[in-house]
Amino acid sequence: MYFSTSFWKCTLWFLFLTLIFPNVETLAWGFYAHKKINYHAVFSLPPELIGFYKAHIHYISENAVNPDKRRYAVKGEAEKHFLDADAYGDSAIYTLPRYWEEAVAQYGEDSLRAHGIAPWSTYSTYLQLVRAMQSGDSKTILRLSADLGHYVGDIHVPLHTTKNYNGQLTGQYGIHAFWESRIPELLSSEYDFFVGKAAFVEKPQLAIWEIITRTHEAVDSVLQLESQLAASWPEQKKYSYEERNGLNTRVHSKAYTMAFHAMLNGQVERQLRNTIKFVADLWYTAWINAGQPILPKIGEKEFMEKNEEFFPLDDLKHIREHEDQGKKTFPPFFNHLKFWEERTSKVFNENRI
């Protein structure tokens, strides 16, 4: 049988790409879901607030992913996205100090940061938003509202609350992005994002802890269900290839994703809806606690032009790398290649959570 030179070139190129990019997957409450969360939260706001937020809905949605971009550019950011509650013991989620000062007194700041500080820092972002609303600084209000939406999203993801955050301790590598990215990406067009009106939250710090506790309680079922499914599924049908960022990328197959989704019985949709509702609740509560100020709109175009940019630092790039589906480590002999560098930073900038 005769194969043309271009056939062999294509084949070798394909093998090369799949060798160095074995399974990069779109990630996170992916960028996609984080944007959707902030977008839909706007529509739960009361008449006094919806005008301001709707005027800037593009900014609020697009910048929902800033905290994930900062993870690799700003020291101290990464730990705001998770809490390895079980690093403190099996039932620690119920006993960890709810207030930062008490937690620091008990565990020390370095140790807290090592295991993630999501519930404390989410509350801190909320407090900053209250202060921004009091000062009437619209740009800061929008920036912090977008950030808060992100952090509230993260505390609704079970695998953001465990040291087994990517199934790496149970042989389920890749489950992080599978749950929070692949499922919403394939199925969220069927979800109902109408979550009703925002409500005032009496005690935001305790409410945040209540949420992350419920989220953490779901960790075991997420891991167990996937493990059961994997045991009954032919290995060669678990994955398929799709084009991402111009690369042929290994992803969980549609059939496998649908089967996991069915086993989870609506969990991903429920968590997305709960997130949207609580984001709206916190924006509204911040405004009430700030004294219900009138929020001055600003030109959307002018604001977007001054959007922040983030440049990943080398020593931060690999923080909790294996939360990702992709094993984005490359053979050392490729290190010097410019191609490698460009591709790596492209993947980091666009796909990381």
Instruction: Using CB under 5 A, list all residues that contact Zn ion.
Output: 68, 81, 154
Which of 322, 314, 55, 64 has its CA nearest to residue 178?
322
SS3 239: strand
Q: How far is the CB of 172 from Zn ion (least distance, A)?
A: 20
Closer CB to Zn ion, 44 or 275, in the complex: 275
Q: 43-71: string of b/e by CB count within 10 Å (b at 16+)? A: bbbeeebbebbebbbebbbbbbbbbbbbb
Q: How far is the CB of 78 from Zn ion (least distance, A)?
A: 9
Closer CB to Zn ion, 154 or 281, in the complex: 154
Closer CB to Zn ion, 154 or 226, in the complex: 154
Q: Residue with the closest Cβ to Zn ion?
A: 81
Helix (H) or strand (E) holding 250: strand 247-252
Closer CB to Zn ion, 68 or 269, in the complex: 68
**Can you tell me which residue has the tokens 């949605």?**
61
CA dihedral (142, 143, 149, 152) in degrees, to 10, reads -130
Closer CB to Zn ion, 81 or 156, in the complex: 81
Q: How far is the CB of 85 from Zn ion (least distance, A)?
A: 16
Q: How far is the CB of 353 from Zn ion (least distance, A)?
A: 5
Which amino acid is residue 105, in one-letter code?
A
Q: Sign of dihedral through CA atoms 21, 26, 174, 212?
A: positive
SS3 265: coil
Q: How far is the CB of 71 from Zn ion (least distance, A)?
A: 7
Give CA–CA dist 21/15, Å, rounded: 10
Closer CB to Zn ion, 81 or 277, in the complex: 81
Q: How far is the CB of 237 from Zn ion (least distance, A)?
A: 31
Q: What is the DSSP string of 273-290?
A: HHHHHHHHHHHHHHHHHT
